Structure 1
Amino acid sequence: MTDSLNPPLSYEASATTTHRHVATTLPPEVSSCLKNSRFLHLATCDGLTPHISLMSYTFLPSTPFDPYPTIIMTTNSSSRKTTHLQTNPRVSLLVHDWVSHRPPTRASNTGNTRDGSPPPAATRSSLASLLLNLNTSALSSISTTITGEARFLEPDSEEETWCKDRHLENNTFEEEMSTFGQVPPPGQRRPSLSIDEDVRVVTVRVREGRLADWKGGVRDWLVVQEGEEVSGEAGANGVVL
């Protein structure tokens, strides 16, 4: 019998379509995850070697240029991911809404025992413990993968200008600088993100993906427009029109 307090790391077969959810809107968990997370992981591939990048992003339920949910990112024109995307626009995105805090493990005889991150010394004070507990308790327990095609926006086009402005607005944090002891002048905001002239704006239409919880459960999802028919063929995440 499986211990309910210690579930297996992965218990559900998911090589094919699993608990598919088809709707005209994103599952609430996916929408919440995309709105609340600060970064996402972008996976690109040049055909042989995968590449992962940690990206700031902007999520919008729709734009004046696309009725589907959209993710906006920027990339340097000479970066590896840009080179990959120019030859292979297929991407995979991972967004999760839990912190990267790994508690101490019980594997004390393997030589790989971790003290946790942050280490115990960093959480001895009551304030540090309180903040850690609040941060952990406020988290959800899901992640979502998204598959699709990245699209470079035409430089100086109306769409690029609009998306660039939204991306800057979404990545400007008024209180973040003071968190690290650098207090901006009163009434002045310091953008946490700047966009150079040689940076390309990239969008990914959010149409299909997979939800995963911390217990290993999975559920595929697909966003469709009114009147669209869905076939039973399997795509990259098990779902496709």
Structure 2
Amino acid sequence: MAESVNPPLSYEASATTTHPHVATSLPSEVISCLKNSRFLHLATCDDKTPHISLMSYTYLPSTPYDPHPTIIMTTNPASRKTNHLLSNPRVSLLVHDWVSHRPPTRATTGDREGSPPPAATRSSLASLLLNLNTSALSSISTTICGEARFLEAGSDEESWCKDRHLENNTFEEEEINLFGQQQQDPNARRPSVVSIDTDVRVVTVRVTEGRIADWKGGVRDWVLLPTEGQDAGLVNGVSS
């Protein structure tokens, strides 16, 4: 019987540094993730329980206040993640830029329930997402490790970062009818109403190291060496 060409679900040992990449610039895959993703997952922990939050973010190669790649987020001062960060600023960020769609399994029998059910059928929308997932978008994710820093309330740095974050997370929305179809006039758009409360806390994470993982289970570690004079004119990899 011929051996399967597909790798195991986790085929590469990753307890130690794997295929290290050390450079003065971020790996292109990491830049792609930060450029294309809409959200990231922020992992925090107090002395007992880990916590994960889905976060809007802004990535900047540098800022007027920090020459290093920086990720900006905002959080409610009364949130669990804020309490975690105040007691333990060490965080992990997970960023991926593929469509989160799971195709049907090969199983055709059984009574199990879960993700996904056996003998799942693929809709036309699911097929479209799957095609996007495998062709137009990337197939890797990156974990970023670092320490979160609350910016001083009322400072120039907080005001500047808050403005950049607001600009980067305000989008035009297309009118969609109840059947999921775009309205007839393609030019008719309305701006999203986005604001940031005055008492919100602004958090930054300096990007220094992380790990790239592909959908096959392979991993590669990367470390960013410090450098000066980075371009501050990009927001999530796109010219502002």
Inter-CA distance 13–170: structure 2 relative to 1 (3 Å threshold): same
Paired position in structure 2 for 1:189: 191
The question of whether the paired residues in 2 share the 8 Å contact of 1:105 and 1:114 is answered with no
Which amino acid counterpart does residue 129 of structure 2 have in structure 1? L
After superposing on structure 2, the runs of 4+ consecutive aligned residues of structure 1 that deviate more than 3 Å are: 113-116, 128-131, 179-183, 185-188
State the shift of 1:129 in Å: 6.2
| Cα distance in 2 for residues equivalent to 1:180 and 1:76 | 33
Inter-CA distance 36–13: structure 2 relative to 1 (3 Å threshold): same
Paired position in structure 1 for 2:71: 71
Inter-CA distance 179–188: structure 2 relative to 1 (3 Å threshold): closer
Percentage identity across paired residues of the two chains: 69
1:87-236 pair list within 5 angstroms: 87-107=87-107, 108-109=109-110, 111-112=112-113, 114=115, 120=121, 123-124=123-124, 128=125, 131-136=128-133, 137-174=135-172, 176-179=173-176, 189-191=191-193, 193-226=194-227
| Cα distance in 2 for residues equivalent to 1:36 and 1:15 | 28
Which amino acid counterpart does residue 190 of structure 1 have in structure 2? S
| Cα distance in 2 for residues equivalent to 1:133 and 1:222 | 32
* Gap runs ≥5 in structure 1: 228-241
> Secondary structure, in 3 states, of the residue corresponding to 2:143?
strand
> Secondary structure, in 3 states, of the residue corresponding to 1:34?
helix
State the shift of 1:225 in Å: 2.1
The question of whether the paired residues in 2 share the 8 Å contact of 1:105 and 1:113 is answered with no
Paired position in structure 2 for 1:34: 34
Count, aligned residues: 217
Q: Structure 1 length normalisation: TM-score?
A: 0.81
| Cα distance in 2 for residues equivalent to 1:216 and 1:15 | 13
Paired position in structure 1 for 2:51: 51
Q: Structure 2 length normalisation: TM-score?
A: 0.82
> Secondary structure, in 3 states, of the residue corresponding to 1:166?
helix
> Secondary structure, in 3 states, of the residue corresponding to 2:158?
helix
Inter-CA distance 226–156: structure 2 relative to 1 (3 Å threshold): closer
Inter-CA distance 153–27: structure 2 relative to 1 (3 Å threshold): same
* Gap runs ≥5 in structure 2: 229-240
